[in-house]
A and B are shown apart, each in its own frame.
Chain A
Amino acid sequence: MRRSISSRRRRTMALQMFFGLLVAIVVLGPVVWMFLTSVMRPVDLTAKPLRLIPQDITFDRFRQIFASASASDPAYVFRIALKNSFLIAVSVTVLSLVVGTLSAYAFAHLRFRGKNALMLLILFTYMLPPVAMIIPLYRIYNQLGWLDKRWPLVILYLSFIVPFIIWVMQDFFGSISRSFEEAAQVDGATRLQTLLYIFLPIARPGAIATGILAFLMSWDEFFYSLIFTSSLASKTMPVAIAEFNGKFTIDYGMISVAGILGSLIPVLITVVFQKYIVLGMTAGGVKE
Chain B
Amino acid sequence: MRLRNEEERYAAALITPSMIVVFGVIIVPIVTTLVYSFVNINPLSSHRGEFAGFGFYIKTLSSRAFWDDLGRTLHFTIASTAIETFFGLLIALLLNQKFPGVGLLRSIIIIPWAIPTVVNGSLWKLMLNGEYGVINALLERFHLISSYQSWLGNPKTAMMCIVIADSWKMTPLAVIFFLAALQGIDQTVYEAARVDGANPFQSFLAITLPALKPTIMVIVVMRTVEKFKAFDIFYLMTRGGPANSTKTLMYDTYLQAFTNLNYSDAATYAYLIALAVALMTLVYIRLMKRGDNI
Contact = CB atoms under 8 A, between A and B. Distances in A.
Q: Do chains A and B touch in the complex (CB under 8 A)?
A: yes
A214 to B, nearest CB: 12
B111 A27 contact: yes
Contacts of A159: 21-26
Interface string B15-36: 1011001111110111011001
Interface in B200-230: 211, 214-215, 217-218, 222, 225, 228-229
A255 interface: yes
B80 interface: no
B15 A103 contact: yes
Interface size class of B (residues with CB under 8 A): 35 or more
B177 interface: yes
B131 A205 contact: no
Given A28-B108, A125-B30, A259-B123, A132 B132 contact: no
A128 interface: yes
Contacts of B270: 128-129, 131-133
A112 B99 contact: no
A113 B8 contact: yes
Contact of A252 (B10, B115, B122, B229): B122
A184 interface: no
Contact of A267 (B28, B110, B231, B271): B110
Given A20-B101, A256-B123, A137 B114 contact: no
Interface string B64-104: 00000000000000000000000000010010010111100
B130 to A, nearest CB: 10
A99 B17 contact: yes
Nearest to B134: A33
A69 interface: no
A24 B112 CA distance: 11
A91 B184 CA distance: 29
Given A100-B18, A128-B30, A136-B33, A223 B102 contact: no
Contacts of A74: none
B106 interface: yes
Interface in B165-213: 168, 172-173, 176-177, 179-180, 183-188, 211
Interface string B108-127: 11111111111110111111
A13 B94 CA distance: 11
Contacts of B273: 127-129
B183 A278 contact: yes
Given A46-B132, A95-B21, A128-B270, A16 B7 contact: no
A23 B91 contact: yes
Contacts, number: 295
B134 A175 contact: no
Interface in A88-112: 95-96, 99-100, 102-103, 105-107, 110-112
Given A111-B4, A262-B115, A263-B116, A123 B278 contact: yes
Nearest to A103: B18
B281 interface: yes
A46 B30 contact: no
A122 interface: yes
Interface in A111-149: 111-113, 115, 118, 120, 122-129, 131-137, 140
Q: Which size bracket describes the interface of A in this complex?
A: 35 or more
Contacts of B278: 120, 123-124, 127
A127 B21 contact: no
Interface stretch (B45-53, B154-162, B250-258): B250-258
Interface in A203-255: 205-206, 209, 212-213, 216, 219-220, 222-223, 237-238, 241-242, 250, 252, 255
B12 interface: yes
A83 interface: no
A267 B187 CA distance: 30
A188 interface: no
Contacts of B232: 222-223
B284 to A, nearest CB: 12
Contacts of B287: none
Contact of B214 (A99, A175, A262): A175
A28 B125 CA distance: 17
12 contacts: A110-B10, A118-B15, A137-B25, A174-B214, A175-B214, A220-B117, A255-B118, A262-B116, A262-B119, A270-B176, A274-B176, A287-B184
Interface of B: 4, 7-8, 10-12, 14-15, 17-18, 21-26, 28-30, 32-33, 36, 91, 94, 97, 99-102, 105-120, 122-127, 131-134, 136-138, 148, 168, 172-173, 176-177, 179-180, 183-188, 211, 214-215, 217-218, 222, 225, 228-229, 231-232, 250, 253-254, 257-258, 263, 266-267, 269-271, 273-274, 277-278, 281
Given A241-B118, A277-B176, 17 more contacts: A17-B100, A27-B109, A33-B126, A33-B134, A99-B17, A125-B22, A128-B30, A133-B270, A135-B257, A209-B176, A222-B117, A250-B122, A252-B126, A263-B115, A270-B110, A281-B184, A283-B187
Closest 9 CB pairs of A and B: A132-B270, A259-B119, A266-B114, A136-B32, A106-B14, A103-B18, A133-B29, A50-B137, A16-B99
